[in-house]
Structure 1
């Protein structure tokens, strides 16, 4: 049992170290030797868990996919409106970006054009499907303008989410991300949300950003 626990701790350390390096340097600029040194493990320990660098990247992307599924399900089960669930999901992901390297690396890998195995959905496809489905529900709940092009809105929203983090990665610390996310939502809400519902969602965004900053 103790050996199994140590093995799991070693595997987690390797994934975390790889994620940190992938996020900061990029996939191509990170070697297995770099990961071994950063994780403070032996090469034998790394190869026991992962046969190649690509396997590590796939695990990180799979964890990213599970995170999104988990958060979307959790926020959707609260009995809130669809739009609130979507906003809360984006801020929950922002919290993960601030707290650890694995979610950040997942996004970095997704933008690096890494080939994925069939079992792992591309993060952007997954985000688009979730966002499109949620915005359709928000239109039915009359939170969004009825003449909105949902597919176009979903594509713009996901592109804004990804772009906000990609630009921020190069220009400012990750702790600034919740502020940029709030700025993005303030613009989108004013363009998409019906006037009677607007104040509620602007207030929600301000609250969620504050909660992350005070953690």
Structure 2
């Protein structure tokens, strides 16, 4: 009916704003990206944007949350493909690396990083820890592996890859460094017979 705003319309507007914001933050970073630019990209008014998000910071947090949900869906797809939780972890690391440009711009640069980086890293660590527990239950890990310590170490190494790639390689770099993380870390925690079956390089 004319003049009636449906749930689909609201969802489409919000999704369009998030996509436009991701492009703006990716290109300009959090500080330089503007609400006007996001609205222009999405083809909406400021009033429409503020109907969904109270501020630029709220918009940025929603972009990060949307990316986190996408990575959760990637994990679910990988778990349907691979029986090994370690192989899921490897491929998830590459997926996060491949899609990390906006996250780099938002998460690892002030001022937004001061508020949200700890929460986001904790979320990543929980995901890695969960996959390690599944791997332990399947007998894929060496005896006596400290799962919490391993999860912290893996996330620290991958965050380091993000930071180095951002400073040196730009948004397209990082896959080689991720492979180096897996080659360094996995032999120390995986059963040799399991490690021999893992694909360390990207799909």
CA contact (8 A) 1:14 1:35 kept: yes
| Structural mapping, 1:9-28, within 5 Å | 11-28=14-31
1:113 counterpart residue number? 113
Shift of 1:86: 1.4
Alignment size in residue pairs: 196
Structure 1 length as normaliser, TM-score? 0.73
Unaligned 5+ runs, structure 1: 98-102
Cα distance per residue 1:61-118 (max 9 Å; x no partner): 22122123222222223451221121122223334x1xxxxx53235433343546xx
SS at match of 2:140: coil
Change (3 A) 1:10 1:140: closer
Stretch of structure 1 that moved more, 186-195 or 154-163: 186-195
1:175 paired to 2:172: yes
Shift of 1:165: 1.5
Unaligned 5+ runs, structure 2: none
Q: Which of 135, 139, 144 is 1:142 aligned to?
A: 139
Q: Which of 46, 49, 56 is 2:59 aligned to?
A: 56
**Within 2, Cα distance between the matches of 1:70 and 1:7?**
23
Change (3 A) 1:171 1:20: farther
**Within 2, Cα distance between the matches of 1:69 and 1:38?**
27
SS at match of 1:200: coil
Shift of 1:128: 1.0
CA contact (8 A) 1:64 1:123 kept: no
| Structural mapping, 1:52-201, within 5 Å | 52-78=55-81, 80-95=83-98, 97=99, 103-111=100-108, 112-113=112-113, 115=115, 122-201=119-198
**Within 2, Cα distance between the matches of 1:149 and 1:181?**
22
Q: CA RMSD in A?
A: 3.0
Stretch of structure 1 that moved more, 33-42 or 2-11: 2-11
Shift of 1:182: 1.6
**Within 1, Cα distance between the matches of 2:105 and 2:75?**
21
